[in-house]
Amino acid sequence: MLSPPQWFIRIGIRKEFLEKYLTTDEITSFLLKERTQVSEEEKMVAERLVKQLPNIPMASQLKKLAKGQVLTGTERRYVELAHAFAIKESAFFGQFEQSNNYDLVQEKMKNLPNQFSYEALDAAAEKEGKASSTNNSFGMDNSFYNKNIRASLSRLKKSQTDLSYVVSPEYTDFQLLLSQLAELKMNVVFVIPPVSEKWSDYTGLSQEEYQKAVSKIKYQLSSQGFNHIVDFSQDGDQPYFMQDTIHMGWKGWVAFDKAITPFLINEQPAPSYHLRKEFLDSSWANYRGDVKDYLKE
């Protein structure tokens, strides 16, 4: 699971992003979960959804959950009908979605070495990265630079000098996600990507602040038993590791594959998580001190 510090912005998730990716069947599935009482995490999820999206589907049912009240039989039957309709609607419209991803993958496979080796893959990635980033000095993909950066370049200089990912309500949302992973007993690898060093130097983003956010994320994970962490946050200075300002690129994906392959091919012991309620508190979301001192306070 990619866990970039860039998620953890001060204002939290933007309303338009939540609206874009949250579906009605996800909401109804959450409401229809078998429960005799509402957990603290479930109350927080329901409250957060209604606060972010006041006109969200099933708002009245979510508000009831937020108060810690279980749905009645009549209310569940209503949600079940809405759920069935949402599933059919998704299936109907899904049949019209076309994707050419397979063709794109087939085309890219022509650039792969005949014999597998990470050295050969890394060399191929460097070659492609070099050929794909010829119109800028930041090592960005040409098309991304043309579409998103070129026209705004002068305006973006030193535009992130006050930006920090250390304080954010997203740390609470992250804890809600970890609670769900723990409940499902999922064994997860968390990958922390870097930010392009050339770009952060240009925009004034503090690497010190970035590393504080990285430390906070890693502490929230490791102190609760989420021990599979791949930290690439120091690799933003490597050529062709990133393909734009924040997304991993040609050599980055080779490093990613090399790092997680042992986890995928080797049998892993069952995870043993021990969740801490302290990470649900707003004091953690707003915490800027030494992370190792947080649970002592």
3-class secondary structure, 17: helix
CA 166 – CA 177 distance, rounded (Å): 18
Tokens of 117: 């080796």
Q: Which of 189, 197, 289, 270 has the alpha carbon at shortest distance from 240?
A: 197
Question: What is the full DSSP assignment across 157-190?
Answer: TTTTTT--SSS-THHHHHHHHHHHHHHTT----E
Q: What does each C-alpha distance from 216 to 103, 161, 290 come to in angstroms?
A: 40, 20, 9
Structure tokens at 143: 């098309």
Distances (CA, A) of 231 to 1, 227, 252: 12, 12, 12
Q: Please, what's the b/e burial string for 83-107 (b: 16 or more CB within 10 A of its CB; e: otherwise)?
A: beebeeeeeeeeeeeeeeeeeeeee
pLDDT at 112: 87
Which residue shows structure tokens 């801490």?
276
- The answer to whether 224 and 279 have CB atoms below 8 angstroms apart is yes
Domain residue limits, the chain: 13-94, 117-296
Which tokens is 154 given? 């002068």
Q: CA angle at residue 105 from 103 to 111, to 5 degrees?
A: 120
Other C-beta atoms closer than 10 Å to the C-beta of 155 total 8
> For position 92, what pLDDT does the model report?
80
Tell me the two tokens of residue 155: 């305006």
Per-residue pLDDT of the chain (297 residues; tens, 9 = 90+): 999 999 999 999 999 999 999 999 999 999 999 999 999 999 999 999 999 999 999 999 999 999 999 999 999 999 999 999 999 988 887 776 767 888 888 888 888 888 999 999 999 999 999 999 999 999 999 999 999 999 999 999 999 999 999 999 999 999 999 999 999 999 999 999 999 999 999 999 999 999 999 999 999 999 999 999 999 999 999 999 999 999 999 999 999 999 999 999 999 999 999 999 999 999 999 999 999 999 986
Question: How many other C-beta atoms are found inside a 10 Å radius of the C-beta of residue 257?
Answer: 12
